[in-house]
Structure 1
Amino acid sequence: MDSELDDLEALLDMGFAFRPRPVPAAPATRPQLRVPLLLLILLKCRASRLHWKGLQVLNWAIQSDARMEVLSIVIGGGHVPHMPIVRIEPMLDRAIDLAVGLGYVTFDSGRTVGLTALGKERAQEISRTPVLAPEKKRLMKLSGKITQSRIDLLLEWRSE
């Protein structure tokens, strides 16, 4: 038993060093990859501006065809029997902050995000490339404008 304790003390008495190691992050969580999507979403909006809640809804919906279908039904005034729970993503907030820092968008005290002239240029450049093709296709399927009342309807909780 004493020899095991001596071995353990010798092992613990050794030097050590901490070295930073890269940690892989999923692409969806990288804010710098969310900025182009943010610009495309705003380009689709009336006056290239949208309230933060609306951005969260579109960001949620654009991730799948099924979600876009639900959003289309709600925008069209239809009723969705089981209201979905829209996820509020912190990565979108970080992408907004990064886009503000890059001069692509403005974010006012009323929580409205809008494209700047530079942001519109970048969004148009992105729309001409094959980048984010599935998301672009989903955005193109969305007809009409999104109103705040429809966004609120989608976000409210209903127990039916």
Structure 2
Amino acid sequence: MSSVKQFQVTFDCKEPERVARFWCEVLGYVVPPPPAGFDTWDEFTLSQPPETRGSWFACVDPSGVGPRLYFQRVPEGRVVKNRVHLDVRVGTGLVGEERLAVLEAECARLVALGAVHVQTLFADDENESCIPMQDIEGNEFCLD
């Protein structure tokens, strides 16, 4: 039997730091300390060759439970639907109108941060409500 492995989730994006800071706000994550030998991220960034400055950024769960999120700059934009997306679990254990109210409140908070509300999928006989959204660079995620 193999052991559970740690993992990180990597996002391709245009502006790594901007997208990372957005996800810090969504998930309650934090920016980790700069690499050893640097007092600030700005100091680290200025030490890099100009062509690689700002090419990546990361954020972490301050409790150490959730995966690290890594954001890397790529030259191309998103052209098709994501094959993998995050479900941000804000309505766990809630049903009906109570669940929908919590999802809608979180949707409004994230729209104010620059997210896009794609649609609201209302509960039916098989599924509870959820809200598909896009982050500030168009990456899909769901409020669930």
Q: Which structure shows the bigger proportion of residues in helix conformation?
A: 1
Q: Which has the higher contact order (CA 8 A, sep 6+)?
A: 1
TM more than 0.5: no
TM-score calculated relative to the size of structure 2: 0.30
Which of structures 1 and 2 has the bigger CA Rg? 1
Q: Which structure shows the bigger proportion of residues in strand conformation?
A: 2
